A and B are shown apart, each in its own frame.
Chain A
Amino acid sequence: MSNVIQIVILGLALGGVYALMASGLTLIFGVMRIVNLAHPVLIIAGAFVTFWLFRLYGVDPILAMPVAAIALFCVGVILYKLIFEKEAASAKYSEMTVLLTFAVAMIFDGLLGWLFTNTQRVTTPSYATDAIFIGDVFIPTGQLYAGVASLVVIGLLLLFLQYTRFGYAIRATTQNRAAAQLMGVNVGLVSLITFGIGIGLAGAAGSLVSFIFSFFPAKHWEWIAILMSLVVLGGMGKLGGVIAGSLILSVIAAFVGAYIGSTWSTMTFFLALFVILLVRPQGLFGDKIEEA
């Protein structure tokens, strides 16, 4: 029994981090219908910001989160201005943006690999290797802190969306872009800022990733499918859905890892992605999606 509790707790802690990793992705999809394949590589960019802050100045990875978030926010705004702003008129918009973000992912993959080489890296704050014992159950402090930190960030995001005027505008644009524009929402500005926030969340997630996984630039390809499975399970564009989806899937993956083998725990996400796309493409909590 304690074994089961152990696995669930490990799964939930990891799920919290996955939720933060995928939340920016779902936010961007909700507002702009951009499937951002460059999201995982930007998470790794955030991890590198944290890594160098830690290595050079000894900044704690969790405290480095705002720095990574702001740095990546700027990257996001620049990317949006350079690339995506003018694509809005394209007839095959959503397919086009998938290919564009794929190209962006390759650019960052190559750039980071060239600058920092493709070796495994990890930040090592003291808590990363510690664990707390409650009875038979042990909780690795690193994963615990990371899970809590990401839930705090997601909580702040939800508060921002719920109670600020700009948050209203973002939610309105997610629900119905044309209607929001008619009601006087500056949809262009909302898109720009949301893209920035989404990429900023990737940066914040990168800070956490830097000490719970080891990372290297080319690692992002396998994360693409993992994050997509979380987003799709929750219903694309649904922030609440992605949190639930992450927690559910990573607990399942933890069980698969414990009882079948760690190689197959990543397989859970990929197979889940296939099954969800086929059986219920709108996700667990999504509405019926319109044809792209």
Chain B
Amino acid sequence: MAVQQLDVDNVIEARREYNAGLAAESKGKRVWQFPVLLLLVLALFPILQVTDGYNYVLHLMLYTFMYVAMASSWNILGGYTGYISLGHNVFFCIGGYFSGMILAYFGVSTLITAPLAGLAAAAVGFVIGSVTLKMRGPTFIISSIALLMVARILFDNWHFVGGSNGITLPQLHLDAQWMKVPYYYAFLLIAALTVWTSYKIKHSKFGLGLRAISQDEVKAESAGINTRFYKVAAFAISAFFVGMAGAVWGEYLTYIRPNIFLVILVAANLVLMCILGGKGTVAGPIVGAILLIAFNELSVVYLGSSELNILGTGVVMLLALMFFPTGIIGTLAAKKKLPRFLDWD
């Protein structure tokens, strides 16, 4: 057998072929049918509304979509990069107020201005992120709580946007039967877009860099990753989708007020959804959002008071952290028992 001469071109060529092979293989294994099917079913769901009487279900579903979008968005920073923000609802608020004020003064629906609200939130996120992301670990978490407090005081005292009383927004002129449908599609679209972005980021060089930062930031930096830019970009991207969700949510509720957006329970929900489902996985925040909203709804129905709801949320969070710190998806994947339809990574 002749010894094969390996010159440099050959090595690179062979490597490329090998990588292409790996990529093709993993692409073959990847399930795309289930998410697409799910999206299709969800898109067709409002047809049931012709028979009327599904408003509550629609509300729950669009509420879930909103939290899926926000939790997936939080996951881009908190899950991939490992920077846990307890003040992410600040961007929810910024998005809500940005589009809400445009709607109140110029009458342009938030369904149209939502992307702009997202951009506004991302811009603010970029500025705040480039300051606060200098901190690491617990210090960053504390600063994110401080950010929330600062935002609350500012919005409570900003008279142009109505202060702590907030402002009322005009409604769409639609029958009650069809009232929720536009928002349903808006949130479905935002959620799908967020999950798709989250997936794309995870499978990009950018996502690889983010995950390297979460493992060991110093090593990541010495490997040539511009950690500063990566972190701030992740922060801005994750602010973008949260801002979009906030914009539509404000119009859906028909009024905006600081204590809708800037309460710590919203931030706690985002964190908990990601931890429960599995931080740093694509499907994790979705599973977490569905479970937590179901839990909240049941606890409101059976226990009633919102104090018990906070208590229950705390207990679930504590137990999840203590016994399943990698979440449902992470734990199942580690045991190799993850069903294929949930393996979105």
Mark A residues whose CB is within 8 Å of B.
Answer: 35, 37, 83, 86-87, 90, 92, 94-100, 102-111, 113-114, 117-118, 217, 221-222, 224-225, 228-229, 232, 263-264, 266-267, 270-271, 273-274, 277-278, 281, 291-292
Contacts and interface: CB of A to CB of B under 8 A. Distances in A.
Q: Which 6 A-B pairs have CB atoms at the shortest separation, nearest pair first? A: A110-B311, A106-B314, A113-B307, A292-B137, A110-B310, A107-B314
Nearest to B265: A106
Contacts of B82: 92, 95
Contact of A83 (B84, B147, B318): B318
B146 A228 contact: yes
A41 to B, nearest CB: 10
B131 A113 contact: no
Most buried by A among B139, B147, B271: B139
A226 to B, nearest CB: 8
Given A232-B139, A270-B149, 13 more contacts: A94-B137, A95-B137, A97-B138, A110-B310, A110-B312, A221-B145, A221-B149, A225-B145, A225-B149, A267-B153, A270-B153, A278-B135, A281-B139
Contacts of A114: 305, 307-308, 311
Contacts of A229: 146
B36 interface: no
B318 A118 contact: no
Nearest to A87: B322
A113 B318 CA distance: 19
B275 interface: yes
Contacts of B318: 83, 100, 103-104, 107
Given A35-B142, A232-B142, A278-B134, A263 B157 contact: yes
B150 interface: yes
A98 B84 contact: yes
Contacts of A270: 146, 149-150, 153
Most buried by A among B134, B153, B156: B153
A79 to B, nearest CB: 10
B313 interface: yes
B317 interface: yes
B315 A99 contact: no
Nearest to A115: B307
B143 interface: yes
Contacts of A263: 153, 156-157
Contacts of B312: 110
A62 to B, nearest CB: 30
Contact of B135 (A224, A267, A271, A277): A277
B322 A83 contact: yes
Most buried by B among A100, A118, A270: A270
A105 B150 CA distance: 20
Most buried by A among B131, B157, B307, B325: B307
A265 B321 CA distance: 36
A292 B84 CA distance: 14
Contacts of B131: 274, 278
Contacts of A117: 307
A93 to B, nearest CB: 10
Nearest to A106: B314
Interface in B262-298: 264, 268, 271, 275
Contact of A99 (B84, B156, B157): B84
A31 to B, nearest CB: 15
Given A229-B146, A291-B136, A102 B310 contact: no
A264 B158 CA distance: 12
B259 to A, nearest CB: 11
Given A99-B84, A110-B308, A273 B142 contact: yes
Contacts of B239: none
A105 B138 contact: no
Contacts of B137: 94-95, 291-292
B158 to A, nearest CB: 11
A24 to B, nearest CB: 16
B321 A99 contact: yes
Nearest to B134: A278
Contacts of A110: 307-314
5 contacts: A102-B86, A103-B317, A110-B311, A228-B145, A271-B150
B61 interface: no
B96 to A, nearest CB: 20
B333 interface: no
Nearest to A272: B146
A266 B146 CA distance: 11
A94 B145 CA distance: 16
Contacts of B139: 232, 277, 281, 292
B161 interface: no
A291 B137 CA distance: 8
A267 B134 CA distance: 22
Contacts of B138: 35, 94-95, 97-98, 292
A225 B146 contact: yes
Interface in B149-163: 149-150, 153, 156-157
